[in-house]
Amino acid sequence: MRASWVVLSVTVAALGGTGAGLAAPKAADTPGDPSAVSVHPFSGARGSTFAVTVRGHNLRGADAVFLEQAPLQVRIEGCEAEPPEETGAKSKTPFDLVHLRVTAAADAPPGRYLFRLVTPRGVSNALPLYVSDLPVSAEPAGSHETPDTAVPVEKLPAAITGRIERRGETDYYAFQAPAGETLTFEALSGLPSTGAPGGNAVGFDPALSIYEPSGSWFDPSRVNRIAFNDEPLWVIGGQTDAYLTHRFEKGGRYLLRVEAFSGQGGPDYSYCVRILPGKVPESTLPAEEGWTERAFPRALSTNRLNELAARGGLPQNRLSIETYRAAAVAAKEAPFFKLPGTLEGGLRQPGETHRARFHLDRPEDIAIEVETPATAPPLFNPVVRLLDGAGAEVATNVFAGRGACNGELSKSLAAKTTVPLRDPGDYTLEIRDVTADLADAGFRYRVQVRPQIPHVGQVRIEADHVNLEPGAAKTIRVTFDREEDYRGAVAVAAESLPPGVQALSGADFEPDKDPPRFPGKRERYTPRTERAVLIFTVASDAAPSGPHLARLVVRPVTDGKPGAVVASKEIPVMVIAKP
């Protein structure tokens, strides 16, 4: 569904005055766009009204909220400068605090919704607000770092918002669990790290622990940890919310501890703890829209040839890809399949290897793509080998190379491998796990073998918003992958721009990179990545305007003809007054 946005304008005093009874000491100006760093608390119940505070830079004079289509009403109640003692002595940039009052519709679907602040400097980046289907209470003031000071949770299910306000801090919550009951615990991060620079190596990564009182001769207040979870599985780019289910063998009083995994803390480390009866599925972040080319969980459809042709600006007149089954048999007994074809199966026995064969009548450049529809790496690590008629390995999805620093050999698994086959004949495809002692019902695979189709792969549009002064210009970088020797042009354009704003395609300077010392057969496992830019300009006499939602689009251009849109992104563009 195409996103739509609304602007809710309000009246608010500038930082030099007061708002909603809040003292507002004057903050020094800092250059740059408005930056919203965090919001606390970031969660509230649907059908309720709750107060939140946005912390960031260059937010003085915020007078409107820019909402994505969301069942929320937001009103700005005041702005102030954060006292220096709260900002911290090491920070050289002053922080601004913007106080909001949020009302969630009674029928609002639970989940995260994005909002932005509008200031005289422009529109800010987006932050999430989480609408809960449970009543939400707040962590009481004071320290809750010991079992004796734990916050009592009187009734389940429960949702509590809190904050790890300094490094090393922990928060305890006390609850009752009947014997034999299973409970689900979640800690949702108010500072999500996926999508941020550095991936999930930055941001707030919460961790959960469950303790039971035990006592000892030395310490009657001693507690024992009986369960722990940081997140179900840490992988680069994955979410970091903690999720834990536990069955309590004994009834009684238990403790839940919330902390940052590596001991960080600060005013931006907000969380929402949920305690739910039974085993409840994990809450997930909204899936990122767009094309994913080289990730194991992506879906390999029967119409993939036409999907790739569209991304290459080619006619979509390819046939559907048939599905076959590989078998745990010797190579000479392996069943045949036709190209293009998709092999489906599952490894249920440790050390099991599935095989299938195909015949090649003439030389052909092929692509081998691997999908793991149930369990992805690093749990299930599928190794795919292509063997010729003599049993020699022709290609594999194991990418071997040497590190640039020390030259040590390293190996990784690729979800896609391109192979030029020059010898006609029979070929055997083998699928197994990287280990010989693991198997599971979730070790399911889909391996697609098809001819290569030149196309535009994954596209990354860096911009989140654009603020322009009259007569000025700003550049947005668009990075794209050329897959399977795509040699056509790539057109980048902006649509629905505000009056007086233009966007021109161009190129900027990128320093040459040293080639890898040990490249191996890198061309089989990585695409050719290039970068284009969009240059936004605004007339010198353009009048200031509120945020205007513009659409950035990327198209392939093949044989002089533009193809369909292969990537798009909507961002707010705002013309601001000169200071």
Q: What is the dihedral of CA 389, 391, 395, 401, to 10 degrees?
A: -160
Please check whether residues 116 and 140 belong to one and the same domain: no
| 346 is a domain residue | yes
Domain boundary among 427, 453, 479: 453
Residues 311 and 442 in one domain: yes
Q: pLDDT tens digits, residue range 324-351?
A: 999 999 999 999 999 999 999 999 999 9
Same domain for 564 and 470?
Answer: yes
The CATH number given to whatever domain includes residue 271 is 2.60.120.380
Establish if 542 belongs to a structural domain.
Answer: yes
At 122, the amino acid letter reads: G
Which are the contacts of 576, defined by CB distance < 8 A and separation ≥ 6?
120, 121, 122, 467, 468, 469, 544
53 and 127 inside one domain: yes
Residue 286 domain-assigned? no
**Quick one: DSSP state of residue 327?**
B
- Give the per-residue pLDDT at 63: 92
Peptide bond into 470 cis (omega under 30): no
Q: What pLDDT score does 235 carry?
A: 66
Query: Do 523 and 555 fall within a single domain?
Result: yes
pLDDT score at 89? 52
Instruction: Tell me: do 464 and 392 sit in the same domain.
Output: no
Regions of the chain with pLDDT less than 50: 1-30, 194-200
Give the per-residue pLDDT at 119.
95
Answer with the one of 399, 434, 453 that is the final residue of a domain.
Answer: 453
**367 and 480: one domain?**
no
Q: Is 26 contained in some domain?
A: yes
Report d(CA 486, CA 194) in Å as an integer.
30
Query: How far apart are the C-alpha atoms of 445 and 432, rounded to whole Å?
Result: 10
Are 460 and 441 members of one domain? no
DSSP structural state of residue 571: E
Domain count, the chain: 4
- CATH classification of the domain holding 484: 2.60.40.10
Identify whether 293 is part of a domain: no
Is residue 245 in a domain?
yes
Give, for 308, the enclosing helix (H) or strand (E): helix 304-311
Q: Indicate whether 146 and 102 sit together in one domain.
A: no
Which parts of 380-486 are beta strand (E)? 382-387, 393-396, 398-402, 409-413, 416-421, 425-433, 444-451, 455-461, 466-468, 473-483
> Do both 377 and 441 map to the same domain?
yes
Which of 423, 453, 483 finishes a domain? Answer: 453
Within a domain: 287: no
Domain containing 264 equals 136-277
Residue 220 has a pLDDT of 75
Shared domain check, 467 and 448: no
Alpha-carbon span 356 to 343, nearest angstrom: 8
The answer as to whether 292 is a domain residue is no
pLDDT at position 20:
30
Same domain, residue pair 61 and 151: no
Taking CA atoms, 34 is separated from 265, 266, 288, 498, 514, in Å, by 23, 21, 24, 20, 36
